[in-house]
Structure 1
Amino acid sequence: MCEKVGNPIKIDGVLDPKEWGGAAWTDDFVDIEGAAKPKPRFRTRVKMAWDDQYLYIAAELEEPALWATYDKHDMVIFHEHDFEVFLDPDGDGLHYFEFEMNALNTGWDLYLDKPYKNGGKADNGWEIPGLKTAVHLNGTLNDPRDTDRGWTLEIAFPWTAFNRGPRKAVPPQPGESWRINFSRVEWILDVVEGKYQKRKGLKEDNWVWSPQGVINMHVPEKWGVVKFQ
């Protein structure tokens, strides 16, 4: 459920309960393949809200090792720890949007006319004028000498961002539903010469809101359904 808010949410990475009103937390993220896989090591959960200008996303990520070095827009953020949003406004499995960000508040936005498995190719030229993002760190970034608690983030997607494909750049009507999913990529790290480094020979963990059944976020028919109220 995505509740409408009466006043704009300030995008500063700090999740102010007064601003977020009655927006509920999602269930904690699970492994991308589903309940048969181990429970994620660290908690991740999301809030959603909207108004006539923006779709708002907030996330809380438990993280003992805050790590991010990618600092240029449209870098391949998931090669490090990240948070990802996938949106399919009309729910047809086509013409969908992806946004990734890290603890440095570096973003990567892309558009697909269809999933990769159907021959889709990512358009990295898609940009989001008016996008607002922010992070708040509860710890010290890139410093292995301590144990961190995590980070929070806020995103405001202007409705004009989705003016591509069949979707018109207008806010949804109350009662309308979208296909949406969220993903978190997490790597096991070692400390080498005082710096974090991905452990060699290990793949990333993929933790999600709505499990896909396979290690592939680009199965939009498996994404969750969010109803706007």
Structure 2
Amino acid sequence: MKSPKQYQCQRVQGPLKLDGFLSDPAWASIPWTDAFVDITGDPGLKPRFETRVKMAWDDTYFYVAAELEEPHVWGTITRQNEVIFHDNDFEVFIDPDGDGRNYYEFEMNALGTIWELSLPVPYSEGGEPVWGCNLPGLIRKVGVRGRLNDPSDEDDGWSLEIAFPWEALRQYHSEKRTPPEPGDVWRVNFSRVQWQHEVVDGRYVRVPPHGTDLPQGLDPEEQSHPEDNWVWSPQWQVNMHVPALWGEVIFQS
């Protein structure tokens, strides 16, 4: 098995002030991850747009910030816990104890609409998603560098910041141990779904999979899509739901 990416997650004096643009000075000293790669790890499928992430933590939150290069920032889904990957989105996968069971998934589009769910076991093992696992106290912010949903020009991209409360993540740790101790390692990965699109009557419209939407609960990797899947730590296959292949986040003091 190929080695997963690793990230040394620094402790900060929180709480961070989140606005979607990473403007809190504490972010300046926090390193970026490597740029995202294709989900398969194939170097010949280099992403067209750069994506990178920063992580940090304090006594209350696990912080994630992402910067997404994007010449056409658009979003259509405004209802919470819809299937957000029907838009371009950013996704976070967290398995606190690294056992590949009872893990958490977060998705958000450029409108700031979110979908939270969990998997008792991966889809490949017969897992059925638990919808609407919204974490109490979660904070999320989006910043758009350009004009959202305006196809008449080109944008620079969008960024986001998320604060995941340790208290709410405790349910996904078999020993209920949160916040982590310095040196603890959590399995975490990030995914960016980037659809092909068309402009119809002045609006962005995604090119759907085979002209249809996916049924609720169906693993997105079970159909062929006109989309790109870019990730931090490669999965070596078109399947995000292999927690053993996620990256390792090592919490520092």
Above 0.5 in TM-score? yes
1:74-85 equivalences in 2 (<5 Å):
74-85=81-92
Give the AA of the match of 2:198.
Answer: D
- 2:31 is matched with 24
SS in 2 for 1:162: helix
Q: CA RMSD in A?
A: 1.3
Residue among 153, 157, 181 paired with 2:160: 153
Change beyond 3 A, Cα 1:167–1:65? farther
CA–CA distance in structure 1, aligned partners of residues 117 and 196 of structure 2: 26
Q: Alpha-carbon deviations, 1:135-178, whole Å to 9, x = none?
A: 01001111100001100100000002223251416200000000
CA–CA distance in structure 1, aligned partners of residues 157 and 68 of structure 2: 6
After superposing on structure 2, the runs of 4+ consecutive aligned residues of structure 1 that deviate more than 4 Å are: none
Give the AA of the match of 1:223.
Answer: W
- 1:39 is matched with 46
- 2:221 is matched with none
Change beyond 3 A, Cα 1:21–1:147? closer
Tell me which moved more, 156-165 or 81-90: 156-165
- 2:98 is matched with 91
Give the AA of the match of 2:237.
Answer: V
Q: Which runs of 5+ in 2 are unaligned?
A: 1-7, 211-224
CA contact (8 A) 1:3 1:22 kept: no
Say yes or no: does 1:179 pair with 2:202: no
**Identity fraction in percent:** 56
CA–CA distance in structure 1, aligned partners of residues 126 and 137 of structure 2: 30
Residue among 167, 191, 203 paired with 2:199: 191
Q: Alpha-carbon deviations, 1:45-69, whole Å to 9, x = none?
A: 0000000000000000000011101
Q: Which runs of 5+ in 1 are unaligned?
A: none
CA–CA distance in structure 2, aligned partners of residues 71 and 169 of structure 1: 34
State the TM-score, normalized to the length of structure 1: 0.96
CA–CA distance in structure 1, aligned partners of residues 181 and 241 of structure 2: 26
Q: Alpha-carbon deviations, 1:10-53, whole Å to 9, x = none?
A: 12102126122521100000000013441000000000000000
Say yes or no: does 1:206 pair with 2:229: yes
CA–CA distance in structure 2, aligned partners of residues 37 and 193 of structure 1: 35
CA–CA distance in structure 1, aligned partners of residues 235 and 168 of structure 2: 25
State the TM-score, normalized to the length of structure 2: 0.87
- 1:222 is matched with 245
